[in-house]
Chains A and B, each alone.
Chain A
Amino acid sequence: MNLENSAHLFRAKPNAARRAERGIFWLFRLATYVVLLSGAAVFANIIFKGAGTVFKTEAPFINTTFLTAAPESLYVFEWQGQKREMGDHAFRAFKQQHPEAANVKAESFVYSAGGIFPCIVGTVLLVLGSMAIALSLGVCAAIYLNEYARDGAFIRFVRLAILNLAGVPSIVFGLFGFGMFVIFFGWNVSLLAGWFTLAFMVLPVVITASEESLKAVPKGFREGSLALGATKWQTIRKNVLPYALPGILTSSILGIARVAGETAPIMFTAAYVVRDKMPWEVEKFSDFFLQGVMALPYHIYVVSSKIPQNEYTERVQYGTAFVFLVIVAVIAMASILLRNRLRNRYKW
């Protein structure tokens, strides 16, 4: 038998069943790539159109006004045969310079000029505060669940609560925060109310992530320490937490992406449509916590549905969406990459 010329003995012959298999595999592949492509389409659209607002063609290439100024109204008017577009401040200065322009007819477009600096600051403040609360609560809860608790009815109940908390819609958290912090505690629309609402929302993510990292620390570490006479707390502090902490922090970054991205919980608890003062311009220190802030996601909502749409609003819409998406994407990417690297780092 001439093996070299004929096909391999065990090679399957091409037949209808194999063709069908290939075809169906291609369907699965198609489904996967449809998902990836639609995700990419959203990204590409926002990035390409938003880049026009955030970047400029001349140096320094970045539109610093957009990133560092507060939103203001845009005035469009005709002046000496030329069409002029100016922000609120510039328009007033222009009128003072040219007294004859006092009565010029100008169309105004709200929020279409200036920048989004207060929104960026507000989002950063919201994220920092709520993550601080969520991390301290979540890590402690995870330590209890993983280190102290023995399996029993109580622990099962706690786990059930965590699981269910993860499924509660964000708008319900918003309602809850409104009912409890804004009205019952009388904090009004404030940073503090937003912090707690967001912290409770992200709590299940942080607990799950922390527990996973704690579990990854081998049992031998604890047993060795206990055998040397250390107390439980000494063991946890010296021999468990240091090894779990990087994992806890990186996994929690995913929680940051969630906190930064949510709009519904802060709509009635922390976000203002517009605020002239920056958050640090407060009279008393305590006022800092009881002030509302502007936030990027809420600003996107406002400019994309609450104000009349026209050619001038598109600029600020895409610009805000671009900045927001880039911030969230960088956070998420960092989290995913760091987690993948960390998984391979400690091998016990």
Chain B
Amino acid sequence: MSQSIPTTKPDHFVIQKKKVQFLGLTVDDCIKVFFGGNAVVSIVVLALITYFLFREGAGFFGQNRQNLMVYRQAGLEYVDFIREETDNHTALTRYLSDLRLRSLNHLVQQKGLSPEAAGASLAKFDEFAGQFGEAVDPVRVILSDLTETATAIKTKFIVNEDKKEERRQLLAEGKTVEAAAVRIVPVDFNAELQPLRGTLPVFKAANHAFANTLTALLNQVPVLPAPELEQRAQRFQALTRDFLATLPLVERNLETWDHHRPVPVSQTITAFVFGRQWLTASFWQDWYGIVPLLVGSLMVSIVALALAVPLGVGAAVYVNQIASLREQKIIKPCIEFISAIPSVVLGFFGIAVLGEALRLLSQQSWLSWVPGFPFSERLNILTAGCLLALIAVPTIFTLAEDALNNVPRSFREASFALGASRLQTIIKIIVPASLSGIISAVLLGLGRVIGETMVVLLCAGNRIAIPDFTNGLAVVVEPVHTMTGIIAQEMGEVVRGSIHYRALFVVGLVLFLVSLGINFMAQKIVRRYRISIG
């Protein structure tokens, strides 16, 4: 009967460790790898951003080198020597007309003459200015002829390049017959430039006559009605003398100019980094210099930070140290809420309201002591800076408040125990202790401001020029263009793969590197100067 006793198999007591293996990994390992893969995404994205910016932008330097080469080989550079001379002369005539305006104002306002009488008394001056202005005409005639010649050479070259491209494409498609049919006549720059260079003697003669006329005119500068105007006239004479001194230099430049001289590789980089002109789609010559955009970005950021740092840090100190608990609870979410205002809405607000409001404010007579006031451009650095400040304040506020919060309570208590007042504690203890955090908050605010696109695109005025720093602080009411703005504005309109397109990617790359640098610095400051608390 022994077999009737069931032999119970204690299967539910046995710990079963059946491991499903997959490529040598257990399920748990697989899950871990999956999550790890997601964590790597941020590294991958960062790498991809770098890669694609480089990929699209790298071609720029080669293309720009060719761009500069054509500029030289087609003789555009030669013509620009002469153009610079006439441009300088134009600046001088502008100085003269400014002088006339000042004299007229002086005569009407100080001497009480009627405008007609004042104009009549300036007849001699007008005659002088007219003669001064006309002296350049012969040179200008030569310049316009040469411009046409050089443009023609450049057009020929570009047509040729297009044909080469056409042939390359046909060959790539395997259409050899059609490719052979594309006739390419190489441009013989030596021969083409002959007529251009042949004008040198004529130009020299014209230039001599021009110099003589100006020298003769210098001796007959008419007397002006006031001593300060007389001073300006003296300045004008000095400027003209300087200008006259440059004339032989122009001739020498023209003589020694050689279209064979190669464009060094370094120049393609310096032309971008130090280029003072960003000029695209021009009939004459395109320039891709980042300086005006960089200066624009910096100016806007400086104005924004100048407003945002006192406000943001001040608000952080107030909320963290001074305000009552109830006030804190209301203010903190409200400032966080401001950061949620989309930048395009702020930009629209700038166009619709703030620009006009600031201009009206600047025209109040009691504010005329402020540098740059009154101004007439509605959209300028100041308008964009004010709005960007509103974007930077929440960032600075939140991070600075965090930093203040991290200062141990004991610091404060120790300070009070020594008899310091609240203000003394804040200024001497709390703020210095959290200074590294505050500085990194400001840096991150700067990163936010420099990378901001829509506000500057809508409100900075979009004039691509280096603002005039000679007016001191009044520079803040000039319109500028920025790095972010130029990408947003021009990216939609450029031909893919063109030099302009690649230039925009290089600007993007610069922006990317600047933001990485700012981020890096902010982290470094926090880490290095963090006080040891404990």
Contact = CB atoms under 8 A, between A and B. Distances in A.
B76 interface: no
B342 A31 contact: no
A165 B346 contact: no
B42 A35 contact: no
B336 A144 contact: no
Interface residues of A, number: 90
Contacts of A267: 488, 491-492
Contacts of B508: 171-172, 175
Contact of B52 (A141, A180, A331): A180
Contact of B45 (A30, A183, A200): A200
A249 B24 CA distance: 35
Contact of B454 (A147, A204, A264, A340): A264
Interface in B400-459: 421-423, 444, 447, 450-454, 457-458
A316 B337 CA distance: 25
Given A27-B314, A164-B46, A172-B53, A321 B40 contact: no
Interface residues of B, number: 83
A336 B444 CA distance: 22
Contact of B505 (A34, A179, A261): A179
B397 interface: yes
A203 B41 CA distance: 9
A157 interface: yes
Contacts of B32: 144, 148, 232
Interface stretch (A70-78, A87-95, A107-115, A299-307): A299-307
Interface stretch (A37-45, A51-59, A97-105, A124-132): A37-45
A321 B41 contact: no
A180 B496 CA distance: 13
Contacts of A141: 35, 38-39, 41-42
Nearest to A320: B348
B484 interface: yes
Interface stretch (B259-267, B288-296, B327-335, B467-475): B327-335
Nearest to A257: B340
Interface of B: 27-28, 31-32, 34-36, 38-43, 45-46, 48-49, 52-53, 55-56, 310-312, 314-315, 317-319, 322-323, 331, 333-338, 340-349, 351-353, 390, 393, 397, 421-423, 444, 447, 450-454, 457-458, 484, 487-488, 491-492, 496, 504-505, 508, 511-512, 515-516, 518-520, 523
Given A263-B342, A268-B491, A317-B352, 10 more contacts: A28-B317, A28-B322, A32-B331, A39-B337, A137-B41, A144-B32, A169-B511, A171-B451, A171-B487, A207-B42
24 contacts: A20-B423, A21-B422, A25-B423, A42-B341, A42-B346, A137-B38, A141-B41, A144-B35, A148-B32, A161-B43, A164-B46, A167-B516, A168-B516, A170-B453, A171-B451, A172-B508, A172-B512, A172-B515, A174-B487, A175-B56, A268-B492, A304-B347, A304-B351, A332-B336
